Amino acid sequence: MKWPLLLLLATLPLQWFVVAGPLRLHIVVMVAFLGLSLVTYRARVFLPVLRLTSLFVVANCALNVVWLAAAAYHGLSPRQPVQQLAYLGVFVAVGTVVHRGLTLDRDRWIDILRWSALVVSIALIGGLSVSMALNDVNAATVFARTIAAADPEILQKELYRAAFTGFGFEEGTARGNLRHEVFGAVLVAMTMSAACADVRPFRSRRASRLYLVSMALATALILMSLSRSVIIALAVWPLLAVLRAVLATRVSPRLVGGALLGAGATVLLMLTGTLTVLWVRFTQETGSYTARDNLLERAFENIGANAVMGGVATASASSHNFVLDSWLRAGIFAAVAATVITVLLLGLFLSLAGTLHLEPAWMLPVAVMFALPLVRIFTAGGGLIPPVSWVGLGLAAGFLAYRRAQVRADAPARISSAADRAP
């Protein structure tokens, strides 16, 4: 299943390609991946991931069952809660594939998946190149104008919105903010590559250099996306690395090298003018901040009038908050379930962050896998966990299930060793 997983990751950023009706390419591949895993594996194969994530799975099932009931009560379509249940199945399937690959076929499995960042970056660049060519978009010219004017809006409208047009999204419906999930898929692939490369480090210097180039390319793509949510999630990575070093009271050569590369990249961004565009994007483009404040006020007003049973359509009045939008759609019981889900994810992330110095190096990118879902829970329009985040959480679940198995396998050996040393 390593090749289907790599295909899933490769198609994850190609979200502006519509296959038929409302079905987009990455959704079709996700559903096909779920179906293939159900056909390939027996039920017991899913148990390690299900045991580890049981509370999270139960809370999501409860949320969507309540949502289905509320939709039936209000005479609304059940499509979205059914879709979220399918994504939950994809989450379990991805986690199972990762856990099984690491457990039964680790070396060959990792040899393929540690190139996830390179494959996904090439797939995205290829997809964007085709789109820009067919839509007569000159990327170099748009970037030059963006930097010259220090105006991020030029890039969003004239490159991304234009490039996303014509493959199922018409000019009036194509949205530049689709890039949040498009480039979020690149970050998910980066964490996958890094975790695999740390589990089984490269032996070839040439392969190691190509891996570093692929990670640099993926980072550049994320920065050029100007997606604040994805850039913030990416920034969590070096912060966790520093925290790990502080807790371990040890500065590793890798951390020093990373700091030097980061400093060099910052200088390069400054010299090219890209840093100015990023600064404007975060500090001066405050229109979305104001709009979200207004949406939050409107959400609280709607909750006051629909607190128990919900029924508010969030398509045009989303608070961009997972808990509040769940409350708006399906009432107080859905809000409770959404709160449980959020607390579980946040609690696990903080727990991992606080113990990274006691874990193997590959647990650092696994912890980063939680950053994007947590950021999107509080920022995503529609107040739902997006498909990209479901896949990222599935990857994390697989690695954590593998780590749990390692700890359990090591425990008897430690006990036996202690007994041998006893007088």
pLDDT tens-digit profile of 315-350?
A: 666 778 888 888 888 888 988 999 999 999 999 999
Whether 368 shows a pLDDT value over 90: the answer reads: yes
Enumerate long-range contacts of 54-58, CB under 8 Å, 24 or more apart: 55/340, 55/344, 56/341, 56/344, 56/345, 57/88, 57/92
Q: Is the model more confident about 276 or about 68?
A: 68
Q: Is the CB of residue 132 less than 8 Å from the CB of residue 159?
A: yes
Alpha carbons within 13 angstroms on the beta-carbon side of residue 270 total 6
Average pLDDT over residues 287-302: 68
Structure tokens, 146: 């963006």
Q: Is the model more confident about 420 or about 46?
A: 46
Instruction: Quote the DSSP letter at residue 22.
Output: T
> What is the DSSP secondary-structure string of 370-398?
THHHHHHHTT-TTSS--HHHHHHHHHHHH
Whether 133 shows a pLDDT value over 70: the answer reads: yes
What percent of the chain stands above pLDDT 90? 43
| Sign of the C-alpha dihedral computed for residues 39, 394, 390 and 114 taken in this order | negative
Whether 422 shows a pLDDT value over 70: the answer reads: no
Whether 421 shows a pLDDT value over 50: the answer reads: no
CA angle at 383 for the pair 51 and 84, rounded to the nearest 5°? 45
pLDDT at 75: 83
Average pLDDT over residues 179-189: 92
Q: Domain residues of the chain, as ranges?
A: 2-409
pLDDT at 414: 53
pLDDT at 140: 82
Who contacts 133 (Cβ-Cβ below 8 Å, separation ≥6)? Answer: none
Measuring CA to CA, which residue among 69, 6, 33, 28 is closest to residue 334?
Answer: 69
pLDDT at 48: 94
pLDDT at 409: 77
Helices (H), 115-252: 116-134, 139-149, 152-155, 162-163, 179-199, 205-225, 228-248
The beta strand positions in 36-128, using DSSP E, are none
Whether 174 shows a pLDDT value over 80: the answer reads: no
pLDDT at 282: 66
Whether 413 shows a pLDDT value over 60: the answer reads: no
Measuring CA to CA, which residue among 340, 326, 391, 275 is closest to residue 10?
Answer: 391
* Residue 395 zone, left/alpha/beta (φ > 0; ψ -120 to 50; rest): alpha
Whether 270 shows a pLDDT value over 90: the answer reads: no
pLDDT category at 370 given cuts 50, 70, 90 is: very high
pLDDT at 263: 67
Whether 124 shows a pLDDT value over 90: the answer reads: yes
Per-residue pLDDT tens digits for 303-314: 776 777 777 777
Whether 418 shows a pLDDT value over 60: the answer reads: no
pLDDT at 168: 72
Q: Is the model more confident about 143 or about 384?
A: 384
3-state helix, strand, coil in the chain (%, to 5): 80, 0, 20
pLDDT at 286: 59
CA angle at 239 for the pair 234 and 243, rounded to the nearest 5°? 150
Q: Is the CB of residue 198 less than 8 Å from the CB of residue 362?
A: yes
pLDDT at 316: 67
Bridge partner residues of 20 (DSSP): 23
pLDDT category at 214 given cuts 50, 70, 90 is: very high
Distances (CA, A) of 78 to 75, 97, 407: 9, 29, 42
